[in-house]
Amino acid sequence: MKNVFKSIFISIFPVIALYFVIDSVIHLINHGVSYRYIGRLIIAITIVSFFGLLFLKPIARTDANLKAYTLPIGIGFILSLIFGGIIENDVNGSLPSIGLFLGWVLYIKWYSKFEDRKSNKHLAIGKSLPEFTLEDSEKNKVSTSKFIGNPSIFLFYRGNWCPLCMAQIKEIASQYKELEQRKVSMIFISPQPHGHTKSLAKKFDLNFNFLVDHDNKVAKQLDIFSKNGLPMGFQTLGYDSDTVLPTVIITDATGKIIFTDLTNNYRVRPEPEEFLKILDAN
């Protein structure tokens, strides 16, 4: 149930922020300067800018607390609440700013974070990665035993809808020559429909393995399953409501796990250079 609330929250929060951007601009144009509305506009436009840039200019990671965005949001909140609510004597008029500020705090401290994943015993360093079967974009079965004999990087990503996932894949693709020199098998795995995976593989057109974890069977086996992890509304694009937690697993040529990234924040992801260092050290 917790993820259901998260799914709803992440779909409506940016829309609400956009509404208050438009509403604040219209009010300031029609009624002149108001601290309540100036502060509200600063908060709302910062939130909209953040989410817009995630999709328009995807980045693979952010800092955990989004300091560059939280600062102007805090300034806008103070401006609206103190100067607008107290000096202009209209605390009720500052309620939207309070709501937007609390929404931002919820996004950082609640939505962005996963449950503690360090207790995952299936992906402990030094253990052999359990064998599992996936499907390629044509629905042919692919067993992970195929990759024994070479070091491998398994990257579980949520789907083409996730801008940080796409940016992370793009980063790794830019390291293609380095990975090829090390004879690394690169396996990207998502529970998304086969057609979406096929279009993604075609986009990069590299000797990487883009595979599908149908019905999240492997995600459940490895305890990286995310029930109702899809933002509300994306189902209309063909995605299932359940998805996978962003996960990176590196194995050596024997299939032994030498590195895992079980991030507890979907915006905090490892640099691709870290993968090369791990491979070179083993």
Nearest to 210 by CA among 225, 195, 227, 222: 195
Q: Give pLDDT tens digits for 6-43.
A: 999 999 999 999 999 999 999 999 998 888 899 999 99
| Predicted confidence (pLDDT) at residue 211 exceeds the cutoff of 80 | yes
Pick 207 or 241 by higher pLDDT. Answer: 241
Question: What is the model's pLDDT at position 1?
Answer: 66
Mean pLDDT of 82-92: 74
- pLDDT tens track for 176-185: 999 999 999 9
In the chain, the domains with their CATH numbers are: 2-111 (no CATH), 133-281 (3.40.30.10)
Residue 265, pLDDT above cutoff 70? yes
The predicted model gives 62-76 an average pLDDT of: 95
